[in-house]
Structure 1
Amino acid sequence: MPDPKVKYNRTRIAPTPSGFLHIGNVLSFAITAALAKQSGAKILLRIDDIDQARADKQYVQNIFDTLNFLEIPWDEGPRDAKEFDVEYSQLHRMGLYNEALKYLQDKKLVFACNCSRKQLSESPCSCYEKQLSLTADNVSWRLITSPNDRLAIKDYNGELIQAILPTEMNNFVVRKKDGFPAYQLTSVIDDLYYGADLVVRGQDLWHSSLAQYQLAIALGRDDFNNITFYHHPLIKDTAGNKLSKSTGATSIKYLREQGKSASDIYQLIAAITGINEPVYNWEQLVSIMINKH
């Protein structure tokens, strides 16, 4: 956990409305709320709906239902689904995303790719050599990355963790074939736009943090250096796999339909993470986790 004396301005809860939220999401939200309370940061609710093919109104509503049911607080952002649609959807920030894409295009930092998923599953993309037009139909844009560059991410202890971009993230997509900006780009632009200086996310997104740092460098956004990252352990299923959004037994919607209370859900998360003490809310859950480790 961060030094209690360190203060931050803003963090965010940033779910994607592509499925019903599960207990893994709740753990991440609880850790975010605890870090915010400790550091004095405001919590922004940012719903990442740029993937319109997967975003669904029922999943947007589920985000508000879950946060309210589990009494996880937020200070800024939409209070309900209607306000989200009218003011906070990522669609309202398309101008910012397109401005960033235009910058990358003008600086010749991207190339067009027409690889199919099947091709990419069989061999790495080789479209850089093809020099396809960025304005061609059915092409994505990939950032020209530097695989040997050492990237430095500021962690919760204030230390710089150095690493290189993993092979699977080389030349990652910043604009999809449908013309919409990709997750890595919208996340960077949103964090900078809203002034987030503390980002809490699962350990599975460490590679994304590195990719986003490299993208910020390409965009000339040195202010991304000011962001501290906290990567927390994940809750996994009985087979040891990361949980996914679903209507299954780990979704909050399912648990509520089974008559579980908020404290029941926190107790379930505690048990899965190896805590045997009674837990009734997110503050108790995270506090015991900290002391346990």
Structure 2
Amino acid sequence: MSVRTRFAPSPTGYLHVGNVRTAIFNWLHTRHVGGAFVLRIEDTDRDRSQKEFEDAILRELKWLGLDWDEGVEEGEHGPYRQSERHQQGIYRRALERLREQGDVYPCFCSPDRLSADREADRRAGRPPRYAGRCRAIPRRQAEQRMAAGESTVLRFRVPEGSMVFEDLIRGSIHVELEQVGDPVVLRSDGWPTYNFAVVVDDIGMAITDVIRGEDHISNTPRQVLLYRALRAAPPRFAHLPLVLGADHAPLSKRHGDTSLRQYAAHGYLPEAILNYLALLGWAPHDHGEVLSREELVARFDLRKVGKSAGVFDRAKLDWVGNQHLRHSASARLAELALPFLQSCGDLPPEATPFHRAWVERLMDLLKESISHLSQVPESDAVRMVLHFDLESLRRDPDLQADLREASSREVIQNFAKLLPGDRPLDVETFRRISQETGKKTGAKGRGLYHPIRVALTACGSGPELVRLVPLIEEAAGLDLPHRVPGCAERAALAARLLGGDL
């Protein structure tokens, strides 16, 4: 039997870390065994479902690289939106079958009555369940009340006894059916409820494996009974452990924005997000932590998913993000980083090939030290290259103390005199002039390069000068929103400043 899984989000908001992890586990399992991955949209919540959210879900899954074999765009088991399936009468026909079998009955209990029952259960220390008040209403009487316009829902008759269902992660789960209660399958507005609709959809789409969060375990007995009533074999179930915040509480809005779109907007690479979330609750047999999409598919084993909750650790995500940046081509990263530099005004809206080449060189430097691309405009390298501010020396007491030393002043003044003012400074020339400055002044090591660094960057620490100098010189020759001085001009300004009063 070919494996068929589904990811079925509701378009009532943006994808968040928890349901993205569920989508990833479904996708990895399906791709590992060579099955079919189905995307279904569960939009029966008419008040909250929005096209904007559905579009975002599709866009973000594609960004993450989770392709689907069937879904809202095409497929032979459609339609794949529950609203469209409702319009085609798919749920109504399934309900008629249950009605003919006597498996459903109308319930006339008011919301106030049901609320009072739940409160009574709570006070008695019992789990809330429907008391079965309308179960025994004669059919003719029920039909008369419905004909009179009395508000009603349809409930499914849960049989007496107990049941056991198998979970691929948790093993056998035993349930006493008296604790389940008769679930509503059709609301008073004529729309199916979640538990009924998903069963009908999974049967119609031939889903074999249902992989979802452990918060759905309580729904599973009701759904298994509905499968049986509809004369269909239940799928295999696998309930994933929850995703917790750093405080080990269930991940929620109080942990901040945990939507996938937030991490995409911050410039995390999609393969880093995929890698990190795939390891929340599962680990490969060799305990590798930095894995490509292909490696994740090859190694994923649903049977190895743990029962313990995974903790969403932003610091660990940042580490994984950095590892993937390090192994990415700088040309690709330059294209991804370009919008961040443009949005903050560091680069013009229309970037030329020269701008792109400069950003590629910048990413050669930065990808070793950042975890996501929104850090590029805030990086020390960008500040030193594009926002040179020699006046900041007056505000830094430590640098002032360093530069008051006669040896530091001598290094900067000699270095400035030796720099060629008629052509850009290349790395070899920078090294030669630095060495000549050392010979003239007797300075070496930190005593030589620290003053030169201050003169060229207005900072006391940062990336290697041999990597910054080309960036400075190239930026000085670009058409940028604000002027960038080259190395010779910077050194001359520093020498003049030192000739005055710091």
| TM bin (shorter chain) | 0.7 to 0.9
1:205 aligns with 2:216: yes
Higher helix proportion: 2
CA RMSD of aligned residues (A): 3.5
Residues of 1 paired with 2:250 and 2:155: CA distance?
A: 27
Q: CA distance change for structure 1 residues 121 and 204 in 2, over 3 Å: closer, same or farther?
A: same
What's the counterpart of residue 157 of structure 2?
Answer: 144
Q: 2:69 matched to 1:75?
A: yes
Confirm whether residue 236 of structure 1 aligns to residue 244 of structure 2.
yes
**Could you tell me which residue of structure 2 aligns to residue 91 of structure 1?**
83
Contact 2:10 2:43 in 1 (8 A): yes
The one-letter code sitting in structure 2 at the alignment partner of 1:62 is A
Q: 1:251 to 1:147 in 2, by over 3 A?
A: farther
Larger Rg: 2
Alignment partners' CA distance in 1, 2:305 and 2:224: 32
How high is the TM-score relative to the length of structure 2?
Answer: 0.49
The equivalent residue for 1:3 is none
Deviation at 1:215, TM superposition (A): 1.2
TM-aligned CA deviation for residue 119 of structure 1: 3.7
Cα distance in 1 for residues equivalent to 2:305 and 2:97: 47
**Which range is displaced more, 119-128 or 248-257?**
119-128
AA partner of residue 135 (structure 2):
Y
Give the 3 Å change call, closer, same or farther, for CA 171–66 of structure 1 in structure 2: same
Identify if the C-alpha distance between structure 1 residues 40 and 160 changes in structure 2 by more than 3 Å, giving closer, same or farther: farther
Q: Distance in 2 between matches of 1:257 and 1:246?
A: 20
Quickly say closer, same or farther: Cα 1:117–1:104, change in 2 above 3 A. same
Deviations 1:97-129 (A, max 9, x none): 101111222233222234454543431443335
CA contact (8 A) 1:248 1:254 kept: no
Structure 2, gaps ≥5 residues long: 118-129, 307-502
Larger CA deviation: 21-30 vs 253-262 = 253-262
Give the alignment partner of residue 22 of structure 2, picking from 25, 28, 33: 28
User: What is aligned with 2:427?
Assistant: none
Query: How many residues were matched structurally?
Result: 278
Paired amino acid for 1:105: R
Mapping 1:92-171, distance limit 5 Å: 92-94=84-86, 95-123=89-117, 124-125=130-131, 126-129=133-136, 133=142, 135=146, 136-150=149-163, 152-156=164-168, 161-165=173-177, 167=179, 169-171=180-182
Distance 1:74 1:47 in 2: 13
Query: Quick one: structure 1 residues 158 and 237, their matched pair in 2 at CA, closer, same or farther if it must change by over 3 Å?
Result: closer
Q: What's the secondary structure of 1:112's corresponding residue?
A: strand
Partner of 2:13: 19
Q: Which of 195, 205, 226 matches 1:215?
A: 226
Letter in structure 2 aligned against 1:202: G
* Aligned partner letter, 1:237: G
* 2: CA distance, partners of 1:272 / 1:198: 20
Distance 1:184 1:38, change over 3 A: same
What are the Cα deviations for residues 64-122 of structure 1, in whole angstroms up to 9, with x where unaligned? 01101111121112249xx9xx9532233231210111122223322223445454343
Give 3-state SS (helix, strand or coil) of 1:195's partner. coil
* CA distance 1:154–1:270, change in 2 (3 Å): closer
Q: Distance in 1 between matches of 2:248 and 2:107?
A: 34
CA offsets 1:4-29 (integer angstroms, 9 cap, x no match): xxx63311111111211101111111
Query: Identity across aligned pairs (percent)?
Result: 28
Give me the whole-angstrom Cα distance separating, in 1, the residues matched to 2:301 and 2:229.
41
Partners in 1 of 2:177 and 2:2 — Cα distance? 27
Give the CA deviation at 1:281: 4.9
- Specify whether residues 107 and 34 from structure 1 end up closer, same or farther in structure 2 by C-alpha distance, changes over 3 A only: same
**Structure-1 residue corresponding to 2:4:** 10
Deviation at 1:187?
0.7
What is the CA distance between 1:212 and its match in structure 2? 0.6
